[in-house]
Chain A
Amino acid sequence: MQVHRLSLLLLLAFATPLAAQQDTTRIPTGVRLGMIYQTLKRPSLAVRAFTAADGVSAAELVGDIVRRDLDYSDRFEMFEVPPQLADGPVDYATWNGLNVVYVLDGALEPLGEGDGYLLRLVLHDVVYGQVKESQAFRIPPPTAPDHRMAVHAAADEVVRWVTGQPGMAASRIVFVSQAADGARDLMVVDSDGENLRRIARVEGPLMSPAWSPDGRRVVYAVGRDDGSWDVIERDLETGAETRVATRRGLNTTPVYSPDGTRIMLAAENGRDLDIFEIDLATGRSRIVRGGPGADMSPTYSPDGRRIAFNSDRIGQPHIYVMSVEGGEAVLLSPYTYGEPGHYAAPDWSPETSFVAFHGRSRGQHQIMVADAARPGSTVQQITQEGLNEDPSWAPDGRHIVFVSVRPSGTGLYVIDAVSGRTRPLVLGGRLRTPDWSPTLERASALTVRGE
């Protein structure tokens, strides 16, 4: 409590100077505090201890990964398994009496030497008193680098069984970490905060990494000594780097198109930044958005036909939506004449019409979500604690990773835009511009349905 209060004081001290320059009491007109509204109640789920034919300890570890993934999916109320129901056949009546809707069992069968396991997951529907889904997944041995990802993919299938929608456990987040000596590390971490590792170290500025749709490459901007910025594509397997943008000067905020054939970015064009799209096969580039003002940070809609982007052409940075073919840009962030406004870093959900960005509210940056299908409608401010920036959607279109400075620690956090539940992903130092990957692994289809 003491520590908490102290850090809160520090935060207030940090925040105070801003008060002199802006109206720190108001939430901007057109912004409402709260989460994305969904009527669905979260069903209660119990995950029983996983078993293994040969009693290997891998069962417990695999069970822990699956249980945590399902918890982090925020689709379920996780129910603590009572000791008397820990094993044996599922007693539907008793579970039903506890208001538990689903019970998940898992069993590991060792395959051949070094081949890992077969993980059989059985999801019981307590309400209907029957097995809802059952499937066997191949899991490489724990020593294999893709072991955890295979377990995450199995957990994502459980989410799909229940909700019909994809999970996000089998994914990673790429981000930039700034060392004390000014060097930058390109880092990657699994969606559950495990497997944190460095991909590359750069001596100078490094910004805005973004995943290719197949998860095999990342593209990012690198600052040079002469003040120019290059956009570099990196093959994660080989480490080979390719310079993408060829314009002189400032090239930044690259993203891949959903089909992976193009990269859109902001580049210096005359007096300011405009948005260009580069065809990776031909290397040809075309201008998507020109004219006065700095246009940057483009992000594709899931079908690749529209973009959201950041522009300060009206004198303050705002979020707009337009067709990739050009034409009129529609304002998405709230604008009120005479009121200060500052919105930046848009990211379009890979699953919905929601665009996340950060905006200044009560003098602090907060994560906000707007519906690109209904420009002009109210924007939801989904964070309130601390300073929050640079959101990126998970492949489930529901979770958002962002940079936060808050009393519980500075670093990357994950928020569920529906429930508001927030967890730290990686804490420490200066961690910046995270990008959440697409789903990196789909569970292999060794299906045995309806047991």
Chain B
Amino acid sequence: MQKRIILPALVGALLVGACGGKQPPQQAGPTPEELAAQARADSIEAARRAEEERRRLEEERRRAEEEARRRAEEEARRAREIFAERVHFDFDKFDIRMSDQETLRRKAAVLRANPNVRVRIVGHADERGSDEYNLALGLRRANAVRDFLVSLGIDPSRFETASMGEEQPLVRASNEEAWAQNRRAEFQLVSGELTRAGM
């Protein structure tokens, strides 16, 4: 009866001993499971890195694009700014002032850089003088500006001229400062797009 009890215990011990001998913990190479896990982790990491790199490149590209767009926008803004710059006139006069000639040169550069743009030049007068004659004076001012731009090599067919006389003052006041502001030529985009500043 006792034998029957011991045998299974021995077998059990042997079995335990055999197992322990074949599989020493830590020293041996990774188990396939571990390898698989490792590989999985590695590939996740690689994918992560790749993704990161991709994102970095994407970001770089986006930034470059953004920068280019910003520059283009900035240039377009600058072009519009130069395009919109008013020129002013002396009382009862329509000759281009020395100080405005630089403005018009910049404007000519913008027009050269944006050959599809067509322009309306609108002449204005201050409130003094005849309402009716001020229309003629405004037209003369618009023509003087066009002539100057044409003399800088811009195709005359790209211009329209108009006059609002004293009808649309920039500053609604009756003093020398307001009058000086109101004696002006303004520039309107008839067609085309302003993209290049032409600097």
Residues of A participating in the B interface, judged by any CB pair closer than 8 Å? 14, 17-18, 21, 182, 204-205, 207-208, 223, 226-229, 249-250, 252-253, 266, 268, 271-273, 294, 296-297, 310, 312, 317, 342, 344-345, 358, 365, 389-390, 432-433
A249 and B128 CA atoms in complex are apart in Å by: 24
Interface residues of B in 160-190 (CB under 8 A from A): 160-165, 167-168, 174-176, 179, 188
Contact A229–B176 (Cβ < 8 Å): no
Instruction: Provide the residues of chain B in CB contact with A271, threshold 8 Å.
Output: 143
A249 and B143 CA atoms in complex are apart in Å by: 13
- The 5 A-B residue pairs whose C-beta atoms are closest, nearest first, are A227-B162, A294-B136, A344-B130, A205-B167, A17-B176
Instruction: Provide the residues of chain B in CB contact with A310, threshold 8 Å.
Output: 130, 132-133, 136
Contact B176–A227 (Cβ < 8 Å): no
A430 and B108 CA atoms in complex are apart in Å by: 38
Interface residues of B in 108-167 (CB under 8 A from A): 120, 122, 128-133, 135-136, 139-140, 143, 160-165, 167
Q: How distant is A320 from chain B, measured CB to nearest CB, in Å?
A: 14
Contacting residue for B163 out of A182, A227, A389, CB 8 A: A227
| Also in contact, A272 and B132, with CB within 8 A (given A21-B91, A227-B164, A342-B92) | no
Instruction: Provide the residues of chain A in CB contact with B174, threshold 8 Å.
Output: 14
Contact B139–A208 (Cβ < 8 Å): no
A133 and B90 CA atoms in complex are apart in Å by: 61
Query: What secondary structure prevails in chain B residues at the interface with A?
Result: mixed
Contact B139–A272 (Cβ < 8 Å): yes
Apart from A345-B130, A433-B132: 20 A-B pairs, beta carbons within 8 A = A17-B179, A21-B90, A207-B135, A208-B132, A226-B162, A227-B162, A250-B163, A252-B132, A266-B136, A272-B136, A294-B139, A296-B132, A296-B133, A310-B133, A310-B136, A312-B136, A344-B133, A390-B130, A432-B131, A433-B131
19 sample A-B contacts, Cβ–Cβ < 8 Å, listed by A number: A17-B179, A21-B92, A205-B164, A207-B132, A207-B167, A223-B167, A227-B162, A227-B163, A228-B162, A229-B135, A250-B135, A296-B136, A312-B136, A345-B131, A345-B133, A389-B131, A390-B131, A432-B131, A433-B132
Instruction: Provide the residues of chain A in CB contact with B132, threshold 8 Å.
Output: 207-208, 252-253, 296-297, 310, 344-345, 390, 433
A191 and B176 CA atoms in complex are apart in Å by: 35
Contact B162–A389 (Cβ < 8 Å): no
Contacting residue for A227 out of B129, B140, B175, B188, CB 8 A: B188
Interface size on B, residues (CB 8 A): 29
| Also in contact, A250 and B139, with CB within 8 A (given A205-B168, A227-B164) | yes
Closest chain B residue to A273, Cβ basis: B136
Instruction: Provide the residues of chain B in CB contact with A345, threshold 8 Å.
Output: 130-133
| Also in contact, A365 and B129, with CB within 8 A (given A227-B188, A249-B162) | yes
Contacting residue for A297 out of B128, B133, B160, B165, CB 8 A: B133
Closest chain B residue to A360, Cβ basis: B129
A227 and B187 CA atoms in complex are apart in Å by: 11
Q: How distant is B148 from chain A, measured CB to nearest CB, in Å?
A: 14
Instruction: Provide the residues of chain B in CB contact with A268, threshold 8 Å.
Output: 139
Contact B139–A273 (Cβ < 8 Å): yes
For B122, B135, B143, which residue has the most chain A Cβ atoms within 10 angstroms?
B135
Q: How distant is A253 from chain B, measured CB to nearest CB, in Å?
A: 5
Instruction: Provide the residues of chain A in CB contact with B160, threshold 8 Å.
Output: 227
| Also in contact, A272 and B140, with CB within 8 A (given A17-B175, A21-B91, A227-B122) | yes
Closest chain B residue to A178, Cβ basis: B167
Q: How distant is B135 from chain A, measured CB to nearest CB, in Å?
A: 6
Contact A252–B133 (Cβ < 8 Å): no
A310 and B133 CA atoms in complex are apart in Å by: 8
Instruction: Provide the residues of chain A in CB contact with B165, threshold 8 Å.
Output: 205, 207
Q: How distant is A94 from chain B, measured CB to nearest CB, in Å?
A: 53
Instruction: Provide the residues of chain A in CB contact with B161, threshold 8 Å.
Output: 249
Q: How distant is B190 from chain A, measured CB to nearest CB, in Å?
A: 9
Q: How distant is B50 from chain A, measured CB to nearest CB, in Å?
A: 58
